[in-house]
Structure 1
């Protein structure tokens, strides 16, 4: 197998890992005000602040590790396909900058939320977690839909469109799909990871999300395959749809483990479909096919790719084992009882 093919495949794997793992992180952040709203607790007597801390703690040990997949994917793209990296980050500069800022604010919110004992302080950081999760979940779909669809490039591979060029109907559908699927993925994760009231709220929400998420995801996959599909990717697209439906069926039956497996496999197969439709291009040009970036004209030298391959072979298993160990250590369900009550100067804080 050619080094360019190897690294195109590895970059696809890295993005798959990022979307599967960070996807439920984003979903939990989006669901924070939905499953633990700042009003009287839904069960009539619980503490909403405790519920929010429970939701945040469910992803607390892993969210930063999940973002490593994004860093490695970006670094691998820069090293293996520098022309792709340059065109992508120049043409998609504003959306990617917004994603970066949202991720920074979200990370700061996780760390600073508990630094001050005040309802307003925590409320502002909760908003940061919500928007810092929703914005990337939506914009990643917009970005990848545009990459598959193709963008205007000139003969020097410079992006010649505007921001509004990226906000086309297909790309917006892609953004809505990633947001919807990640939110569903997060609800399944909460049903799997927690016990008690939050678990039952998440399961109740799943029953309402199943139909609209299935419709949006099916519409995006069908549109993608009709416009850009290849014979092989029809198989992965069909398998992705089947995995999503299987996950939804398991969720409705209360089988959270199988439901999470179904949504994770659906996300992975969808990424495989998008990269399969993209191959051998890495950035198609809607101006002229001759202006497209491919795995050949966008790649580094063979020597660079071979050295990178050996580095990946040596260090990737170490990273995978460490991250797998982290998930194993923090595998137990979380309940309200493990969250210490929030104290204020006048006693326990009332739910808001």
Structure 2
């Protein structure tokens, strides 16, 4: 049953990166959009993320619950030593969701709409930024469980160039996913070209920030190159991600849109597989060279069995409901399209 729980944890993180990433990315795209195009971008973004914006944080909640119940030692270590970036990320989620609701459903249209818009776009950037920082900190080897100062215990564990570069890489990926989603929502040729440019810009940003991740990993003595290219799975995943990216841009240039989301999602899946496969099951690497393992640091057997059973039963109800939610939005009245 432990492997069932681990699979659910990995899938929950993947779905949050895909669906939540597209959600955050819509705000990132809006942040870097000119004033004259913000209203159009806002409208198209709402139609794109409408089916998932209320449900995507479910995957983050599932991941947190899995860690809390199934791996308490890992949960406590991360929540203590990374509590600052965790709080910032959670505040970003709250601020973003609140701003999204008020700017779309507020009965009174006044100057507060500008405030809601700013909160939405900046929290859309900050939240995935710190999500990436937390992920980078977990494997950076900077978490010192024996630290005796505030700086070494709660600051140095996450405030380092490797974690920050992963934060920017995560932001770029979210923007790229969102741009691909938005391309599929447009029917106007000019708007499509604009989102294609956004996708290209975010793609370039992802390449640059990805390069910075490897550079900072080398400077911080993190064996990222070995994790990625030191095994057949990593090499195959990188190769497939690269091929799918080439196919994606070929289809974009040909004017296609049906398979773009699948290809973008496949790339993110390969990226996550690449960075997690090599050091599995060591989810947290500590400064003293030790690690926290999903196998060795699991909770009581009864807790794992109950958690795995709850996840299996819950998925029977959650997944069909989510699929129907997305399906119902896709069947909206054609007259409401652009």
Which category describes the TM-score, using the shorter chain as reference length? 0.7 to 0.9
Native 8 Å contact 1:15 1:271 kept in 2: no
Q: Distance in 2 between matches of 1:92 and 1:165?
A: 7
Native 8 Å contact 1:148 1:277 kept in 2: no
**TM-align CA RMSD:** 2.8
Does the residue aligned with 2:259 lie in a helix, a strand or coil? helix
Q: Distance in 1 between matches of 2:144 and 2:93?
A: 28
Distance 1:164 1:288, change over 3 A: closer
Q: Deviations over 1:271-303 (max 9, x none)?
A: 2222223312121112132xx211234211111
Native 8 Å contact 1:180 1:213 kept in 2: yes
Does the residue aligned with 1:282 lie in a helix, a strand or coil? strand
Q: Does 1:322 align with 2:321?
A: yes
Partner of 1:346: none
Does the residue aligned with 1:118 lie in a helix, a strand or coil? coil
Q: Does 1:71 align with 2:61?
A: yes
- Stretch moving more, 165-174 or 226-235: 226-235
Q: Distance in 2 between matches of 1:276 and 1:217?
A: 18
Native 8 Å contact 1:58 1:334 kept in 2: no
Partner of 1:214: 207
- Which of these residues, 180, 188, 194, is aligned with residue 186 of structure 2? 194
Q: Does 1:80 align with 2:80?
A: no
Partner of 2:7: 9
Partner of 2:252: 251
Native 8 Å contact 2:2 2:308 kept in 1: no
- Structure with the greater relative contact order (CA < 8 A, sep ≥ 6): 1 or 2? 1
Larger Rg: 1
Does the residue aligned with 2:311 lie in a helix, a strand or coil? helix
Distance 1:285 1:210, change over 3 A: closer
User: What are the ranges of 5 or more consecutive residues in structure 2 without an aligned counterpart?
Assistant: 218-222
What is the TM-score normalised by the length of structure 1?
Answer: 0.82
Q: Distance in 2 between matches of 1:333 and 1:134?
A: 29
Partner of 2:119: 128
Partner of 2:220: none
Distance 1:260 1:244, change over 3 A: same
Q: Distance in 2 between matches of 1:280 and 1:33?
A: 37
Q: Distance in 2 between matches of 1:22 and 1:122?
A: 23
User: What are the ranges of 5 or more consecutive residues in structure 1 without an aligned counterpart?
Assistant: 43-47, 341-352
Q: Does 1:154 align with 2:145?
A: yes
Q: Distance in 2 between matches of 1:298 and 1:245?
A: 40
